[in-house]
Structure 1
Amino acid sequence: MPGPLSPLTRAVTYTRWLHLLVGAIVPIVCAMVYPGLVAPSAADWALIAVLPVPLVLAVALVPSIRRAEGLQARLMLFPGPHARVRGEEDPGVSATPSASWSDRARTGAWMVLRMEAGLAVALVSGQLMAFSLSLVGAAVGDPTVADPFLQVPGSGWWYALLVPAPVLVLLAVTAAAGALMAQAARRLLGPSVRERLSELEERTERLLERNRIARELHDSLGHALTLAVVQAGAARAAADPEFTDRALEAIEETGRAALEDLEQVLLMLRDTGRPAGPRPALGQADRLLESARSSGARVDAEVTGPLEDVPEPVSREGYRILQEALTNVLRHAGPVDVRVRIAVERARLRLEVRNSLTGAGSTAGGAVSTAGGGGSTADAVRAAGGAVRAGGGRGLRGIRERAALLGGEARAGRDGDGWLVRVDLPLR
């Protein structure tokens, strides 16, 4: 727990002090012109504090001044690399130019406050340092070595014991004033409502982009890994060379496609400036259907309407939705009968994937037409499919999210003795 003297060991205490003293430069320079700094009275000091205010307010109207003040406040008023304590990630001080009259008004108020507080701290610092020198002079017999507001009466060696007192008071005043100025900076130089809304929009865009990339990875790699696990497990269980060759060929093709998708996602993450390659669309749906068939599912597909008329964003998302729906079938139901319907209608694209909830009857098609190893390879595929049925829960949510982003609707649930996923996406 920090003690009462801990501010004395923090570099930020002294950078705040310097920040305050810099604010006193303008009134001191103005005072050199009028009314002068030769034995100024209390009225003169009051005039010195007031005269530069119009000039400071006029300077605050320049938009870039707010940026300069914000950068100074961030560097000198808050803990950072120069401090001995861990700094805040966001001090709450904006470093952007003024974008409205409200920003200019707050910047003007901050600059006037900084000038007045700096002048006050400069005067207090000068008086306390002069008083400390007077104590040193009194200890050696000459109390007139300095001329502070408070005079030291007489002289004597015991005054040496009081020399540190003004210095400690000065440090305490500096620490307190610096802390107050840091709070004022958050209020007067903090982000405006417009900046907060802009920051919120940027954060939302980043989150949406991260979610989109996560969906891409989940759909592409999840599909590839599901097929690979099913095919590899089935090949091992079937113990049939011909089936094993077909399974390895399917795994190779699926893995190559997944690597291409992964490369596109990595290009987006790296932001290298290179244009990303074309992403798969519904025109390549046959690749998904063949992958599902090679995993033992008997897929009956029906496509109606011109797929080339589907807008590119809708076609891309439709491909991913179909990919996730087929992956869910293999993951949770195994190599069952699947009916896929893709319909391009006048104002919408409809995708339907219906599968039975039992593996009975799914013994034909694709790579499961041979027998070996003392049993049906379809049984081997079903056994392998059970290894990937655990878990899940993100697939349907990803389908709904993709549909919602395009203004569409996705529904999933039991349909008689099967399971139906139906997605409607608007074409406009």
Structure 2
Amino acid sequence: MPGPLLPLTRAVTYTRWLHVLVGAIVPFVCAAVYPGLTRPALTDWLLIAALPVPLVLAAAVVPEVRRAEGLQARLMLFPGPQARVRGEEDPGVSAAPSASWSDRARTGGWLVLRLEVGLAVALVTGQLMALCLSLAGAAAGHPGVGDAPLRVSGGGWGYALLVPVPLLALVALAAGAGALMAEAARRLLGPSARERLAELEERTERLLERNRIARELHDSLGHALTLAVVQAGAARAAGDPDFTGRALETIEEAGRAALEDLERVLMVLRETAPPAGARPALGDADRLLESARSSGARIDAEVTGPLEGVPGPVSREGYRILQEALTNVLRHAGPVPVRVRIAVDEARLRLEVRNPLSAAAAVAVTGGGSGLRGIRERAALLGGEARTERDGGQWLVHVDLPLG
């Protein structure tokens, strides 16, 4: 369809038109009281346009008025289900109450604009519709029908060809006024700086939560799967029923812990209440060390300082960092001697994991996989620092976390 006729086919043209005309209700109600609607003069129309302004400015002071206007604008000024097309995900119009005098001032400007544009469009709509009736009456041989601004004299079927002209002009007026009001709604009812900041903070929190969940799954399931692979391989190589039984028991325990972590993460994703079990913390580090020992690694662990004094978030992240460090040892270096040091003082938690590094393992871990990146991210989120590097013939994971 040609461009000039496109507004005729868009439902949003008519919802915008209706939205604009609704803005004329208040001036017409005021005009019915004073100065009246019986053939008002031009000065009367100017008075009608000015009288409701103090009323709408007073209404703009009420915080909920901004919410009501924002919802109306979203529904009627922008494409969406009411227009039978897919609308914009965010039209840029706020539906929150006024939170500051700046919001109230912008709402007042919007109400005055809606009032004046609505009155003007309503008057032009009435005159163009009257002109259509006059042209139709002239075509039927009855000139003078309607109270049009342009007098139609005479009659004849030729006037029927002119009837669509005022209608098309009316649709063009409605489309233009609707587009003007949609842009004005974005500017006057759009989110304030405070609302944009709050939305940005909320989006950041969601991204951080998604990253935390991804790290939880990576660390927990990666550790369980690595442990299962190592234990299964060792049991097959040993060929000892007793060792195989112990290996299966370790695999069962690691799998059960991974399932608990998975259930906890799924509860978060479903936005339901978390399960009763708390997330593991450094107080459960013995379980990690025993799992690594059962896989053949020779663990030399030393803990200094009170682990129970470590704040919950630091303790939980420290557990995950230790879990990932031990998983990397088993995955890349195998059952080798591992030195684990956990030190707690009044201000900081220090965690260090060292293990011998073969040539093949050096190529694997120095590539900087997602596990090492996750260790650094966890430390950075807590205001700490993590170093994962080659130290001579050993691989070193050193993490320093503040307790405050």
TM range (shorter): over 0.9
Q: CA RMSD in A?
A: 2.1
Once the two structures are overlaid, the 10-residue window that deviates more, 37-46 or 21-30, is 37-46
Looking at structure 1, the residues matched to 237 and 39 of structure 2 have their Cα atoms a distance apart, in angstroms, of: 102
Change (3 A) 1:211 1:2: farther
Stretches of structure 2 that go unaligned for 5 or more consecutive residues are none
Q: Could you say which residue in structure 2 is the equivalent of 1:372?
A: none
Alpha carbons 1:321, 1:399 under 8 Å: kept: yes
Looking at structure 1, the residues matched to 284 and 2 of structure 2 have their Cα atoms a distance apart, in angstroms, of: 65
Identity %: 80
Alpha carbons 2:366, 2:389 under 8 Å: kept: no
Q: Could you say which residue in structure 2 is the equivalent of 1:101?
A: 101
After TM superposition, the structure 1 = structure 2 runs for residues 28-43 of structure 1, keeping only pairs within 5 Å, are 28-43=28-43
Alpha carbons 1:139, 1:157 under 8 Å: kept: yes
After TM superposition, the structure 1 = structure 2 runs for residues 186-201 of structure 1, keeping only pairs within 5 Å, are 186-201=186-201
- In the TM superposition, what is the alpha-carbon distance from 1:409 to its structure 2 partner? 1.3
Deviation track 1:295-351 (CA, whole Å, cap 9, x = no partner) reads: 222211111222222222221111111001111112222222211111122321111
After TM superposition, the structure 1 = structure 2 runs for residues 185-334 of structure 1, keeping only pairs within 5 Å, are 185-274=185-274, 276-334=276-334
Matched, 1:397 2:388: no
Looking at structure 1, the residues matched to 170 and 392 of structure 2 have their Cα atoms a distance apart, in angstroms, of: 83
Alpha carbons 2:28, 2:48 under 8 Å: kept: yes
Runs of 4+ in 1 over 6 A off after TM superposition: 388-392
Looking at structure 2, the residues matched to 164 and 276 of structure 1 have their Cα atoms a distance apart, in angstroms, of: 71
Aligned residue identity for 2:375 = I
TM-score relative to the length of structure 2: 0.95
Change (3 A) 1:242 1:274: closer
Alpha carbons 2:333, 2:357 under 8 Å: kept: yes
Change (3 A) 1:211 1:274: closer
- In the TM superposition, what is the alpha-carbon distance from 1:275 to its structure 2 partner? 5.6
Change (3 A) 1:302 1:2: farther
Aligned residue identity for 1:292 = A
Looking at structure 1, the residues matched to 301 and 241 of structure 2 have their Cα atoms a distance apart, in angstroms, of: 29
Aligned residue identity for 1:205 = E
Looking at structure 2, the residues matched to 120 and 406 of structure 1 have their Cα atoms a distance apart, in angstroms, of: 60
Deviation track 1:63-119 (CA, whole Å, cap 9, x = no partner) reads: 110110000000000111111321000000001111111101100100010011111
Looking at structure 1, the residues matched to 295 and 148 of structure 2 have their Cα atoms a distance apart, in angstroms, of: 93
Q: Could you say which residue in structure 2 is the equivalent of 1:348?
A: 348
Alpha carbons 1:304, 1:342 under 8 Å: kept: yes
Q: Which of 1 and 2 has higher RCO (CA within 8 Å, sep 6+)?
A: 1
TM-score relative to the length of structure 1: 0.89
- In the TM superposition, what is the alpha-carbon distance from 1:269 to its structure 2 partner? 2.0
Change (3 A) 1:310 1:274: closer
Aligned residue identity for 2:348 = R
Stretches of structure 1 that go unaligned for 5 or more consecutive residues are 360-381
Deviation track 1:203-234 (CA, whole Å, cap 9, x = no partner) reads: 11111111111111111111111111222334
Looking at structure 1, the residues matched to 133 and 124 of structure 2 have their Cα atoms a distance apart, in angstroms, of: 14
SS of match in other structure, 1:55: helix
Once the two structures are overlaid, the 10-residue window that deviates more, 399-408 or 231-240, is 231-240
Looking at structure 2, the residues matched to 392 and 253 of structure 1 have their Cα atoms a distance apart, in angstroms, of: 29
Looking at structure 2, the residues matched to 320 and 337 of structure 1 have their Cα atoms a distance apart, in angstroms, of: 20
- In the TM superposition, what is the alpha-carbon distance from 1:254 to its structure 2 partner? 0.4
Alpha carbons 1:338, 1:353 under 8 Å: kept: yes
The number of residues matched between the two structures is 403
Q: Could you say which residue in structure 1 is the equivalent of 2:338?
A: 338
Q: Could you say which residue in structure 2 is the equivalent of 1:427?
A: 403
Aligned residue identity for 1:258 = A
After TM superposition, the structure 1 = structure 2 runs for residues 59-70 of structure 1, keeping only pairs within 5 Å, are 59-70=59-70
Aligned residue identity for 1:80 = G
Looking at structure 2, the residues matched to 179 and 346 of structure 1 have their Cα atoms a distance apart, in angstroms, of: 63
Looking at structure 2, the residues matched to 185 and 206 of structure 1 have their Cα atoms a distance apart, in angstroms, of: 28
Alpha carbons 1:409, 1:425 under 8 Å: kept: yes
SS of match in other structure, 1:85: coil
SS of match in other structure, 2:200: helix
SS of match in other structure, 2:38: coil
Looking at structure 2, the residues matched to 70 and 36 of structure 1 have their Cα atoms a distance apart, in angstroms, of: 32
Alpha carbons 1:267, 1:276 under 8 Å: kept: no
Matched, 1:164 2:164: yes
SS of match in other structure, 2:144: helix
Once the two structures are overlaid, the 10-residue window that deviates more, 392-401 or 152-161, is 392-401
Q: Could you say which residue in structure 2 is the equivalent of 1:416?
A: 392
Looking at structure 1, the residues matched to 223 and 398 of structure 2 have their Cα atoms a distance apart, in angstroms, of: 19
SS of match in other structure, 2:84: coil
- In the TM superposition, what is the alpha-carbon distance from 1:146 to its structure 2 partner? 0.4
Alpha carbons 1:264, 1:276 under 8 Å: kept: no
- In the TM superposition, what is the alpha-carbon distance from 1:288 to its structure 2 partner? 0.6
Looking at structure 2, the residues matched to 400 and 393 of structure 1 have their Cα atoms a distance apart, in angstroms, of: 11
- In the TM superposition, what is the alpha-carbon distance from 1:198 to its structure 2 partner? 1.0
Looking at structure 1, the residues matched to 69 and 27 of structure 2 have their Cα atoms a distance apart, in angstroms, of: 17
Looking at structure 1, the residues matched to 10 and 234 of structure 2 have their Cα atoms a distance apart, in angstroms, of: 67
Looking at structure 2, the residues matched to 82 and 266 of structure 1 have their Cα atoms a distance apart, in angstroms, of: 36
